[in-house]
A = this chain, B = another copy of it.
């Protein structure tokens, strides 16, 4: 297993409805990523996409993108883990380079959710036999978790407001973010109830986006860029598929297992993590992730928000470029956007959003109702 680095990335602005087609979005970021790495060829391309089967009628997306991008001949496969799909593509690219099957691999994520109603297709991340027939969707499952949390720990709804406020504030200065609008506690409290107790600002938006990263062996990384970023660890863990089967639905076991595996592989303590790109598809999910990963005791995650520890100047900044909530959550592309943002942070290219002296970053991606969780840990790669 050889060390792996990111040597280039490409992103397009997240939009409610992109003018480009799904494939055009993908091709655009593939070309950007390759250009930033200074290469005109890669060995392999791994594509993350969750919804094209239903929304674009397309089930063979990796090879389609490779072909349209002029990469005819290269290896191309699609990888999926429901709403964590982008991270799955990153993991497969990491496998390919780490195992020396590829010297240069692209992980590309692409999703165009504006083509048709996405919610029914998104619900297929849940159990089609046991959950969906009862009316469950990803939104309703997260609403249940939040209700359970508020009741068990006797926390007021307002305690979660800072998850939205932080995300929107951070997105203000991010050109590729979907939203550029600060929100106040009152905005959050007055926003429309989507599925009680979830309000609009607790939820990430339906949107279109694409992002790509180029991976290379760490010991060759500086041949492609003067600002490579090491991937210190990549891991996946799972939980009981159905929320109702879990001993305690408020304990994200897959998140805990996945982060433990990754921290052991990276030899990184949670105190070493300078910022954490969490899967804040819903405020409650960000809160539960912070607890599962040990940044807060059980039942105390909301305090990290309320006390501002998740802000850029706090102890454990999250959603530093807007997160899923305000940069946007184009499913299959999300984790690749986050990876690109982590690269910007770790190479001092995050502009006004820069976390000073950031050296180690963590990314966690949640599939479905946290049945599948991937963790990646990254580090600034110094010149030798």
Which residues of chain A have a CB within 8 Å of any CB of chain B?
A: 1, 21, 23, 44, 50, 53-54, 56-60, 62-64, 66-68, 71-82, 88, 91-92, 95-96, 98-101, 121, 124-129, 132, 234-242, 245, 253-254, 257, 367-368, 371-372
Question: Is the pair B101, A1 in contact by a Cβ cutoff of 8 Å?
Answer: yes
Question: Is the pair B54, A53 in contact by a Cβ cutoff of 8 Å?
Answer: yes
Question: Is the pair A60, B367 in contact by a Cβ cutoff of 8 Å?
Answer: yes
**If A59-B50, A63-B367, A96-B95 touch, does A73 touch B238 (CB 8 Å cutoff)?**
yes
| Interface residue from B1, B21, B62, B129 paired with A100 (Cβ < 8 Å) | B1
What are the residues of chain B within 8 A of A99 when measuring CB–CB? 1, 95, 98-99
| Distance (whole angstroms) from the CB of A35 to the closest CB of chain B | 21
Select from chain B the residue with minimum beta-carbon distance to A97: B99
Question: Is the pair A77, B128 in contact by a Cβ cutoff of 8 Å?
Answer: no
What are the residues of chain B within 8 A of A95 when measuring CB–CB? 92, 95-96, 99, 101
What are the residues of chain B within 8 A of A75 when measuring CB–CB? 235-238
Question: Is the pair A73, B236 in contact by a Cβ cutoff of 8 Å?
Answer: no
Question: Is the pair B1, A63 in contact by a Cβ cutoff of 8 Å?
Answer: no
| Distance (whole angstroms) from the CB of A254 to the closest CB of chain B | 8
What are the residues of chain B within 8 A of A92 when measuring CB–CB? 77, 79, 92, 95
**If A62-B81, A95-B99 touch, does A57 touch B88 (CB 8 Å cutoff)?**
no
Cα A367 to Cα B239 with chains together (Å): 31
What are the residues of chain B within 8 A of A60 when measuring CB–CB? 80-82, 124-126, 241, 367-368, 371-372
Question: Is the pair B124, A67 in contact by a Cβ cutoff of 8 Å?
Answer: no
What are the residues of chain B within 8 A of A59 when measuring CB–CB? 50, 53, 80, 82, 121, 124-125
| Interface residue from B57, B121, B236 paired with A132 (Cβ < 8 Å) | B57
What are the residues of chain B within 8 A of A240 when measuring CB–CB? 67, 72
Question: Is the pair A78, B76 in contact by a Cβ cutoff of 8 Å?
Answer: no
A-B contact pairs, 7 of them (CB 8 A): A62-B80, A64-B241, A77-B79, A77-B81, A78-B79, A79-B80, A92-B92
Select from chain B the residue with minimum beta-carbon distance to A246: B72
| Distance (whole angstroms) from the CB of A368 to the closest CB of chain B | 5
What are the residues of chain B within 8 A of A63 when measuring CB–CB? 81-82, 238, 241, 367-368, 371-372
What are the residues of chain B within 8 A of A88 when measuring CB–CB? 77-78
Question: Is the pair B58, A128 in contact by a Cβ cutoff of 8 Å?
Answer: yes
| Distance (whole angstroms) from the CB of A53 to the closest CB of chain B | 4
Select from chain B the residue with minimum beta-carbon distance to A45: B238
| Distance (whole angstroms) from the CB of A370 to the closest CB of chain B | 10
Cα A92 to Cα B368 with chains together (Å): 21
What are the residues of chain B within 8 A of A101 when measuring CB–CB? 1, 95, 98, 234
Question: Is the pair B371, A67 in contact by a Cβ cutoff of 8 Å?
Answer: yes
What are the residues of chain B within 8 A of A56 when measuring CB–CB? 128
What are the residues of chain B within 8 A of A235 when measuring CB–CB? 75
Select from chain B the residue with minimum beta-carbon distance to A53: B53
Question: Is the pair A124, B58 in contact by a Cβ cutoff of 8 Å?
Answer: yes
Cα A126 to Cα B239 with chains together (Å): 35
| Distance (whole angstroms) from the CB of A95 to the closest CB of chain B | 4
**If A63-B368, A63-B371 touch, does A239 touch B77 (CB 8 Å cutoff)?**
no
Question: Is the pair B73, A257 in contact by a Cβ cutoff of 8 Å?
Answer: yes
What are the residues of chain B within 8 A of A126 when measuring CB–CB? 60
What are the residues of chain B within 8 A of A129 when measuring CB–CB? 21, 23
